[in-house]
Structure 1
């Protein structure tokens, strides 16, 4: 069986689209379509179902992808370096949420740079990073959503504790943790809200876990970056729900104050995801193992 056809097939399987696969392969879309049809004729079975937007693999297509993809990835790893290159010199493409990747993941991986690893990072939502990983744009993805299906595999990386914070003047006004403990949500109604999205994802999750309720207020400041939310909260803009790793220094210096210390703080799990079979590639396996070891202290 022609390896070029299998390479095209795996790329389409990961990209979910003939058009995206063509761009990744440097081919025309008709050429990709022709190669997939040729492979389907050889196998005598359809590999994809054509949809209005992209393609969906058949069960035969999924089975073939899971069998051949690891071997093709290994061949790319072997042939991608010339005989004079050190095998350790590879570029790792990773993706994840901007704040966690910047504060945790990238610093944890920098020691590998001295061992010949180059790093390229991109930021995005859980959906964006997992879609990019499946399409072959990334080697590793850090996500707050566990990927489904057999194409991607994931390992829990760490749990992120969420803290309800505000500037000291707001804390003094409501009586800080004692006021919230005594009066519940009524103590927080007078505070403006700083969030990363209009849907108030962090505040909603905290309210559900701690108060068994939904927030009844809208965001006063919406900034799609947790670091911006922290800066606004510290400047007195209102309350914010933030990961402890991000606001820990501000808590220690008194720039912000925890408004409540619940017995069981809300947690969110991060997952470290890869495409099935790619941990056979040494540079991906090394980074994967390094992150898991570093996460023990997170």
Structure 2
């Protein structure tokens, strides 16, 4: 059986789409379709059910993928083994949220860069990052959502704690009114909010977790970068919910104040995500392992 056909089959099985698999393989969509049909003729059984959006493997297709995928991945690892000695002399395309990637991931990879690894970085939302990774634009992605399907595999990287903060002026005003610790969400009604989006994603998640309620205020400032949100909150523009790693220094200096100390603080998990099989490539595997090791201290 032709290994090229099996490679195309496994890629389609993981991608769930002939079109997406074609992009990953560097082939045209008709070429992928032709190869899958050739393999189906050899086996005498259909491997995929064609649907309006992508394909779904048949039971025969799932069984074949389960049998051959590990061996194909092992062959890739063998062919790439010669790169071990100079794996640092490769370019890693890393994608993730701008703040976490800038303040956590890139500094952690600095030592590998010093050893010769080249880095190219892209910033974007979880959805944009996963789409880019699936399309082959990135090698390694940091996401706040676990991907579905077999094309991408995710490993939990770390959890970040979210903190409700404000400038000392706002904290004093809230404390004079009874304090959020005692009165809960009612003490915060009508106060200005600083957020990354009109939908208040961070504030809404915090309110749901801590107060079991929805925020009643709208954002007075929307800035699509957590560092800008922090700067505005520190200047007294309003309340904000931010990851602790981002605001820890200004909390220590007193430039901002944590308004609450809930017994179970809201958390968000980051995932380290790759396309299935690519951890056989030494430069990707090394960066993956390096970030997991660094995250133990985050």
TM-score (norm 1): 0.86
State the match for 1:205 in structure 2: 205
Q: 2:137, 2:63 → 1: CA distance?
A: 22
Alignment of 1:72-221 (within 5 A): 72-76=72-76, 79=79, 86-175=86-175, 179-221=179-221
Residues 128-164 of structure 1 deviation map (CA, whole Å, 9 limit, x = unaligned): 3334444444333222223344444333221101010
Question: Is the contact between residue 81 and residue 87 of structure 1 (CA under 8 Å) also seen in structure 2?
Answer: no
Query: Partners in 2 of 1:82 and 1:294 — Cα distance?
Result: 27
Secondary structure of the 1:220 match is: strand
Matched residue, 1:293? 293
Q: Which runs of 5+ in 2 are unaligned?
A: none
Alignment correspondent of 2:241: 241
Q: Distance in 1 between matches of 2:72 and 2:121?
A: 24
- After TM superposition, give the deviation of residue 245 of structure 1 in Å: 0.5
- Could you tell me how far 1:97 is from its partner in structure 2? 1.9
Q: For residues 219 and 131 of structure 2, what CA distance do their matches in structure 1 show?
A: 29
Q: Return 5+ residue gaps in structure 1 as ranges.
A: none
Name the SS of the counterpart of 1:229 in structure 2.
helix
- Cα 1:28/1:134, change in 2 over 3 Å: closer
Instruction: Report if aligned partners of 2:97, 2:143 keep a CA contact under 8 Å in 1.
Output: yes
The residue number in structure 2 matching 1:9 is 9
TM-score (norm 2): 0.86
Instruction: Figure out how many residues of one structure are paired with residues of the other and give that number.
Output: 298
Q: Distance in 1 between matches of 2:144 and 2:207?
A: 19
